[in-house]
Amino acid sequence: MRESWRDVAHLLRLAALFAVGILAFLVLRAIFVPAGFGELGHFRSGAMGDNAARPLSYAGRTTCADCHDQEAATLAGSAHARIGCESCHGPLATHAADPDAVTPTLPVATPLCERCHAELQARPARQPQVDPGPHADGADCADCHQPHDPTP
C-alpha cells in the first residue's frame, strides 16, 4: 500500500499547487476588480454616477461668445463653424467663471491643425487634407490661415 501512495504523491502536490493558484487568483481578483464591475456589461456600473458627480470643466460655445463676440462671428461663417471653442482651446469653465484668474493658452497651430487636416486615407475626401512639409515649407499654419476662418 505504501508503494501505491508514493505513486500519487506527485498528483496530490500538483492538486494542492493548483488549489493555491485558484485561491490566489480569487483573492487578487477580489482586491483589484472594482465593486460593480460586470453588472451592466464589461464596465463598472458606478462609473456613470462618478462621472456625473465630477465638476464641469467645459463652458460651452455660447459662454465663450458672451465675451469673444468678434471671434464667434468670424467662426460662425467659416468652415470651422461646427467646431466648438474648447476643441482647440481646451476646457474653459474656470476661465469663464473668472477670466482674469485663468488665461487659456493659445494652441500651437500646426500640431493642432494636423489633428484633422494631416493626410490620412481613412478621412472623407471632402475633408481638406495636407502634407504639412511640402505644403507649408516649414511655416506654421497660422502664418497663412486665420484659425477661426481658415479660408486661404
**Same domain? 28 vs 85:** no
Do the domain assignments include residue 150? no
Structural domain tally of the chain? Answer: 2
DSSP class per residue in 51-84:
HHHSPP----HHHHHHH-HHHHHHHHTSTTTTS-
| Beta carbons of 78 and 150 less than 8 angstroms apart | yes
Query: Quick count: other Cβ atoms within 10 Å of Cβ 104?
Result: 17
As a whole number, the mean pLDDT across the chain is: 86
- pLDDT tops 90 at residue 55: no
The pLDDT tens digits for 94-150 are: 888 888 888 887 888 788 888 888 888 888 888 888 887 777 777 888 888 888 888
Q: What would the pLDDT profile of 57-72 be if each residue is shown by its tens digit?
A: 888 888 888 999 998 8
Q: Domain residues for 28?
A: 2-53
- What the block records as the C-alpha cell of 147 is 484659425
Cα–Cα distance between 144 and 152 in angstroms, integer?
Answer: 7
Q: In this structure, are 85 and 121 located in the same domain?
A: yes
Q: What is the DSSP letter of 34?
A: P
